Amino acid sequence: MSYLKIDHVDKRFARGAATTEVLKDISLVIDKGEFVSIIGHSGCGKSTLLNIVAGLTPVSAGAVLLEGKEVNAPGPERAVVFQNHSLLPWLTVYDNVALAVNKVFGGVKSKAERHDWIMHNLDLVQMGHARDKRPSEISGGMKQRVGIARGLAMEPKILLLDEPFGALDALTRAHLQDSIMQIHAALGNTMIMITHDVDEAVLLSDRIVMLTNGPSARIGEVLDVRLERPRKRLDLVSDRTYIAAREAVLKFLYERHRFVEAA
Partner 1 sequence: MTDAAQQHGQGSIAMGQAVSKSVAGEAIIVALPGAKAAVVALPPLAAKPLSARAASWLRAIAVNLLPPLLTVGLLLLFWQLAASGPQSSLPPPSKIWSEARDLIVEPFFWNGSQDIGLGWRILVSLQRVAIGFSLAALIGVLLGALVGQSVWAMRGLDPVFQVLRTVPPLAWLPLSLAAFRDSQPSAIFVIFITAIWPVIINTAVGIRNIPQDYRNVAQVLRLNQLEFFFKIMVPSAAPYIFTGLRIGVGLSWLAIVAAEMLTGGVGIGFFIWDAWNSSRLSDIIVALVYIGVVGFILDRLVAFIGHVVTRGTQAN
Binding site for partner 1 (CB under 8 A): 54-56, 73-76, 78-80, 82, 84, 86, 88-90, 99-100, 103-104, 134-136, 154
CB of 259 to partner 1, least distance (A): 26
Residue among 71 and 223 whose Cβ is closer to partner 1: 71
Q: Is 240 exposed, middle or buried (0-12, 13-18, 19+ CB in 10 A)?
A: exposed
Contact, 2 vs 30, CB < 8 A? yes
In the complex, minimum distance from the CB of residue 183 to partner 1, in angstroms, rounded to a whole number: 19
Rounded Cα distance between 164 and 148, Å, is 9
- Cβ proximity to partner 1: between 35 and 105 the closer is 105
CB of 39 to partner 1, least distance (A): 22
Q: What is the Cα–Cα distance from 251 to 253, expressed in whole angstroms?
A: 5
Between 77 and 221, CB nearer to partner 1:
77
d(CA 5, CA 64): 6
Residue number, 28 or 154, with CB nearest to partner 1: 154
Query: Given the complex with partner 1, which of 103 and 256 has the nearer CB atom?
Result: 103
Query: How near is the Cβ of 80 to partner 1 at its closest, in Å?
Result: 5
Cβ nearer to partner 1, comparing 80 with 118: 80
Least CB distance to partner 1 at residue 107 (A): 13
Count other C-beta atoms under 10 Å from residue 40's C-beta: 25
Tell me whether residue 127 is exposed, middle or buried, using C-beta atoms within 10 angstroms of its C-beta: 0 to 12, 13 to 18, 19 or more: buried
How many CB atoms are located within 10 Å of the residue 137 CB? 12
Closest CB to partner 1 among residues 3, 82: 82
The CB-of-155 to partner 1 minimum distance in angstroms stands at: 13
Q: How far apart are CA 248 and CA 209, in angstroms?
A: 12
Shortest spacing between CB 50 and partner 1, in angstroms: 11
How many angstroms separate the CA atoms of 147 and 238, rounded?
33
DSSP H helices, the chain, are 46-54, 93-105, 111-124, 140-153, 170-187, 198-204, 233-236, 240-251
Burial class for 220, CB neighbours closer than 10 Å (0-12, 13-18, 19+): middle
* Pairing mode, strands 78-81 and 158-162: parallel
